[in-house]
Each structure stands twice: as structure tokens, then as C-alpha cells.
Amino acid sequence: MGISTIAAFIITSQPPKKIEIKISEQGLDISGEIVQWQYIIGWAMVDLGEDLEFVVQTSKFVKDFYYFYVHEEDPKVKQLLQIFTQFAPYDETITTKNQSHNILRNFGLK
């Protein structure tokens, strides 16, 4: 149990990774992993203070949620919102569907 606690602490204390998001008419490219729009069920956004958390739900079996964070004062946020609304529906209930992520977010983890 002690080893598990130490391992969990080490894993959760890691800083967030910087990822690159590219958006095209084909879909999202999240650090080299392409998610086509046809597999995106919807998206939602959570205001975390200085950062905005974007949650993308997909119909992919292996990875059904994608999360990324953008600073709320980033000038590209408005453009990002316009593109998302053009290609995928907004669904505020998506933020409540992944309970394990919500528990970790309540502990301040990103």
C-alpha cells in the first residue's frame, strides 16, 4: 500500500504536459493523435479561473475523452470556440460524465 501511495503521488505531482492542438476540417490533431470530427460526440468547457478546460467526448472505444487547457486570456480562445461550434455540438453534461477526472480536478490536478 505504501508503494502504491508513493507511485500515485509521483504520478499526480507531474506538471501538465505541453501539447499542440491543430484543427482542420478533418478533425483535431492533439499532439500527433488525429481525432476526426465524425467521431466527436460533443465538447464542453470548464472555467478553472485563469485556465479553461476543454473536454472533447468521442465515440472511440479506447479513449473516449480528451482534455486540454488554454489560458483564458490567450487571443486564440475566441477562434477556438468558433471552430468547435462549427464542427461539433456543445454539451455541458460532458463535463460530468468522467467521474475519475472530476475527482482528480477537485484535488487540483490537471
pTM, 2 dp:
0.75
pLDDT at 30 over 60: yes
Give residue-wise pLDDT tens across range 62-85.
788 888 888 989 888 888 889 889
Identify the domain containing residue 76 by its residue range. 2-106
Q: What is the CATH number of the domain that holds 37?
A: 2.30.29
Nearest of 29, 27, 30, 32 to residue 83 by alpha carbon: 27
Q: From CA 7, how far away is CA 105, in angstroms rounded?
A: 19
User: How many folded domains does the chain comprise?
Assistant: 1
Are the C-beta atoms of 27 and 43 separated by less than 8 Å? no
The CA-CA-CA angle for residues 19, 44, 34, to 5°, reads 40
Q: Is 45 helix (H, G, I), strand (E, B) or coil?
A: strand
